[in-house]
Each structure stands twice: as C-alpha cells, then as structure tokens.
Amino acid sequence: MRMNNIKPADIILVDSGTNYGKAILITLNIFQDDDVKFIHVLMAVDKEKCIVAESKVKYHNIVEYLKSVKSYKIIRNNKLTDKQRLSIVKKAETLFGLRYGVLRIVLQFLDQIFRTNFFTVWLKDKKMHICSTLVSWSYYVVARVGFNGVQWQSVEPDDISDEQERNQHVWEVVSEK
C-alpha cells in the first residue's frame, strides 16, 4: 500500500472492524437517519504521517495504521490552498500530547439520543478533543470549513462522511478500501 497521493490535511475516515468498533457502529446506527460507516478519523500531516486522537493526540504512520483497519476512505477538500492545508495541520499539531476527551464522547452520545447539540456545543475547551473534533476544530479555525451543518464541537465521523457525500464537487475521494 502506497500513499504517494496524500496531501497535508487530507481526512482519513476509518472503520476498525474490531468488536469495540462494531458496538459503536450498532449504537450510532440506532440514532442516525443514515447508515454510519466510519467510527474514527485521522488527518494526514504529510505522505507518511497522520495525527490522530486516541488515548491522546499523537502521530501514526499512515500505511501501518491503515493495514490494521477493516475499511477506510481518504477525502480531500479541493477548495483549500496548499497554504491553508499546512495551516490546518499546524493547528491540529498544537493539540499534540493532549489526552483524549472521554467526556465529549458521553456528551455526544447524549446529543445523539436527544437529537440536539445542546450537550457538546458548550465544550469549547480545546483540551476536550476526540478524533472528529480535532479535525473539525482545525478546519473551522483555519478555513471556516464546516461539516454537515454541525457546529465543530459536535462533529462526529459520520458528519464528515456525510459532508463528503453531499458535496462531491468540493470533497474528492483520494483512496478507499
């Protein structure tokens, strides 16, 4: 697997295929109006490295990470300049080393149940990120790019996927498995 066509700030949507991942997909599909396919999001830093929020915000090798997943889709916003792409990555990197925002997951789950953004919208603290808000915050702060009409504090991987599917003239699929 080669990733020579990856650019900084490309978004990588992932389904791990693990039991934990399956449980998340089942739960999300109960509360979503559409079929949820991805449970995790990474952002390319360059052709080899990505930034991801797991136990904490850290780097991974893209190829090695993608070898361990069931499926993925890499998408790119074609309206961004190279300078904006680099700025988005730099913004995400300011969160490097921060711990995963477990409370945000709980609040997003409550938002799903009650079909609102009430619980997560007040979480503006950049220390409370999960994978999808790491990406949405970086894109929003640098380029005012939003996802699926959802405020950055409440964005989930499915919102990013839905945005790409609805706006294929803006979001190119670079690679998928």
pLDDT tens, position by position, 3-40? 779 999 999 999 876 555 555 656 665 666 667 688 88
Scanning the structure block, which residue is given the tokens 């990470």? 65
Q: Write the class of the CATH domain 11-176.
A: alpha beta
Summarised one tens digit per residue, pLDDT across range 133-169 is: 899 999 999 999 999 998 887 788 888 999 999 999 9
| DSSP symbols for 105-167 | HHHHHHHHHHTSSHHHHT---TTS--HHHHHHHHHHHHH---BTTB-GGG--HHHHHHHHHH-
Going from N- to C-terminal start, the domains of the chain cover 11-176
CA distance 132 to 1: 25
